Amino acid sequence: MTPYRLLPLFLSISAALALPAHGQSLIDLYESARAYDAAYQSAKFQQDASIAKAEQARAAVLPTVGLALGASVTNLDNTLAPPPKSTFNTQTATLSASQPLYRPANRAIHEQGMKGIELARAQLASADQDLIVRVSQAYFDVLAAQDNVTFVKAQKAAVAEQLASAKRNFQVGTATITDTREAQARFDLVAAQEIAAENDLLVKKIAINQLVGKSDTQPLALAQPLSLPPLVPGDVNAWIAQSEAEHPAVRQSRLALDVAQLETQKAQAGHKPTLDLTGGYSITQNGGSATVPMDYRTNAATIGLAFNLPLFAGYAIENRVRETLALEDKARNDLEGARRAVAQGTRTAFFGVLSGQGQVKALEAAEASSQSALEANKLGYQVGVRINIDVLNSQSQLFDTKAKLAKARYDVLLGGLKLRQANGTLKAEDLQSVNALLAK
C-alpha cells in the first residue's frame, strides 16, 4: 500500500498521539483566562469602583447628619470680690441634620452616578467579548499549527518514499539521476518546513499558555468528519439591527450622551435656587460662671428651611452652559460615529464568514481533486508517462490544500465569534456551539 493510501491512517494516529489523555476544551481555557487575564480583571474591578462611586453620588440627595462635642474649662482670677467658685467647666453636644429639598444639580449628579454603573457594565461586556475572541484565536492558532506539523510530517514521509523509489529506479537503470536529485531537494525543503512548523507550534503554545495562565495547555482538536454550522440569521441587516441595542461601544456612546445632557442640567441649575431642610438639637452642661455661680443645663432644638438664590456669578454659569451644550453635541456625533463604525464592522465580519464558508467548500473539492491528481501522477510515474517532479508537485499541492482547508475551517468558526463581537451580541454561551464540534 502506498504512503498516500496510508495518509488518512497516518493523520489519525498523529492526531491521537498529539492529544493528551485530558485535553482542555475551548470553554475550559476561556474560564481559566477569565480568572487570569489582566485586561479582563482590570475591567471587572473598574466596575466595582464605578458602583462605589455611584453610591457616593447618591449621597447628594440623601440627608446628612453630624455630631459635635466640646468641653472647656475656665479659671477666673480677679482683684474684685471673688465668686464662690473660680473654676468653671462647660460641656456641649450638638446633633445637626440637613435634607436637600430642591437641588437640581444634586439630582443630576445622582443620575450621572447611575449612568456610571451602566457604563462600567458595558466596558466589562466589551472586555469579556475581547477575551472570548483572544482565547478562541489562540486556541485555533494552536490547532492550525498542530495540523501544519502533522501535514509536514506526512509529506516528509511521502517524499522519503518517493526518494527511495527514485534511488531504486536509478540503480536498475530505469530513471536518471535527475529524479533522485529532485526528490532529495524536495526532501530537504520539507525537512526545513518541518523545523519551522514545529517552532511555530511552540510559539503558539507559549502564547496560549500566557493568555490562560497555565504551563501546558493541550487544546482538543475538532471532531472528524466536521460539518460547519450555517450562519443564522442569513441577512446582514438583521445582524446590524441587533448591534443598535447590544453593542458595548454603542451603549457606551449612548451613555456618554446621557451624561453630557445631565452635565448641561447641572450647569443650568446654577441659575436655580436651592432649598434645604435643617434641624438640630444641642445640650450644654455648664459648671457655673462668674455671674451664675451654680451648675445648670441648657437643651435647645431647632428646625428650619435654608433658601439660597444665586443672583450674579460673573457670567460663569452662562459660559459653563455653552460649554456643556457643545460637549453634548460632541457626544451626539460620537454616538452616530459609533453606530456607523459598528454597522460597517458587522457587514465586514458577516461577508467574511460567508466568504470563508465558500472557501471551505472550494477547498474540500480541491482536496479531493488533489488526491486524485496525486494518485494519477504516481501511477503515471510507475508506468513511465510522468516524471518524478510531477509526483513531487502533486504531493506539495495536496498537503498545501489540506493545510489551507484546516485553516479555513478554523477561520470560519472564529469568524462566527468575531461576527457576534462585531454586532455586540457575543457571550460566553456562544462558545457552546463551537465546543460541541471538538473531539471528546
Is 439:223 a contact under the CB 8 Å cutoff? yes
pLDDT band at 163 (very low <50, low <70, confident <90, very high): confident
d(CA 331, CA 255) in angstroms, rounded, equals 9
* pLDDT tens per residue across span 18-75: 444 468 999 999 999 999 999 999 999 999 998 998 888 888 889 999 999 999 887 7
The pTM for the full model equals 0.83
d(CA 26, CA 414) in angstroms, rounded, equals 12
* pLDDT tens per residue across span 358-394: 999 999 999 999 999 999 988 887 887 777 788 888 8
- pLDDT at position 21: 47
Which residue did the predictor score with more confidence, 289 or 357? 357
270 burial type by CB count under 10 A (0-12 exposed, 13-18 middle, 19+ buried): middle
Q: What is the DSSP string of 38-101?
A: HHHHHHHHHHHHHHHHHHHHHGGGS-EEEEEEEEEEEE---SSPPPS-SEEEEEEEEEEEEEEE
- 178-187 long-range contacts, CB within 8 A, separation 24+: 178/388, 179/387, 179/388, 182/388, 182/389, 182/392, 183/159, 183/388, 183/392, 186/159, 186/162, 186/392, 186/395, 186/396, 187/156, 187/159, 187/160, 187/163
* pLDDT tens per residue across span 165-194: 888 878 887 777 888 898 899 899 999 999
* Per-residue DSSP letter, 403: H
Label residues 279-297 b or e (16+ Cβ within 10 Å = b). ebeeeeebbbeeeeeeeee
Cβ neighbors of 246 (< 8 A, separation 6 or more) are 423, 424, 425
Q: Under CATH, what is the fold of the domain 7-435?
A: Outer membrane efflux proteins (OEP) (1.20.1600)
pLDDT band at 295 (very low <50, low <70, confident <90, very high): confident
Q: What is the DSSP string of 155-176?
A: HHHHHHHHHHHHHHHHHHTSS-
pLDDT band at 292 (very low <50, low <70, confident <90, very high): low
Cβ neighbors of 194 (< 8 A, separation 6 or more) are 149, 152, 153, 156
Residue 156 has pLDDT above 60, yes or no: yes
